[in-house]
Amino acid sequence: MPEDGPPQDPAPNWQPPPSSAPPPPPSAPPSWSAPAPGQPTWNPDAGPGTVAGPNEAARKATLVAYVALGLAFIASFLTWATVSVGSLSVSVSGTDGDGSLTAILTIASAGLLAAARVTSTEPRRGLIIASLVAAVLALLIYLYDLIDVARVAGDNTATGSGFDLTVDASPGVGLYLGALGSLVAGGALVALLRKASSKP
């Protein structure tokens, strides 16, 4: 009968048998859910820690309105029409007609918009509406003068005692630029008004 002795150490190259247990399953990716209406959303093009929310959209609409109103204001001093009578051609500036009104209206619209942004933490709807009305009035003036110049261009024959003159009129760059600037400003103000109205 063999004698019991102390346990012998395993051989130096001995390794435990591989475990037959399956590897743990990979961790599931974090779930993503759409943000609630009115909550800021992540913008991958913005810097780290930056979100694009309603305030950012309002700032962009305000900037667009300011730029468009500035263009409409400058257009008040540009050429609104070019009138040719025979061999004589005359350029008519906006300040020779309704340009003074459009300049005042665009300044008033920009001033009311600025007041709406600085009088409180949230834009005031009443001031935005007043700014929109001023921009729309400027747009109507530009459109009226565009139609008026086109009407003059349609009736391009002047007759007199023993002579016939050809009268030609074409809208100038000021009318096109002013109408475009007023239209874009009105659209930006409408977007800003809708955002202000959607706030609780």
Tens-digit pLDDT profile for residues 106-147: 999 999 999 987 755 555 888 999 999 999 999 999 999 999
Q: Averaged over 4-27, what is the pLDDT? A: 59
Spatial strand order of the sheet with 88-93 comes to 88-93, 79-85, 163-171, 157-160
Q: Is the pLDDT confidence value at 50 over 50?
A: no
In this structure, the dihedral spanned by the alpha carbons of residues 136, 140, 146 and 149, taken in order and rounded to 10 degrees, is -150
Contact call for residues 124 and 116 (beta carbons, < 8 A) = yes
Identify the top-confidence range among 5-9, 26-30, 92-96, 135-139. Answer: 135-139
Give the pLDDT band (50/70/90) at residue 97. confident
DSSP 199: -
pTM of the model: 0.66
166, HSE (Cβ side, Cα atoms, 13 Å): 3
Whole-angstrom CA distances from 33 to 30, 45, 74, 111 are 10, 20, 47, 41
Domains of the chain: 54-198 (1.20.140.150)
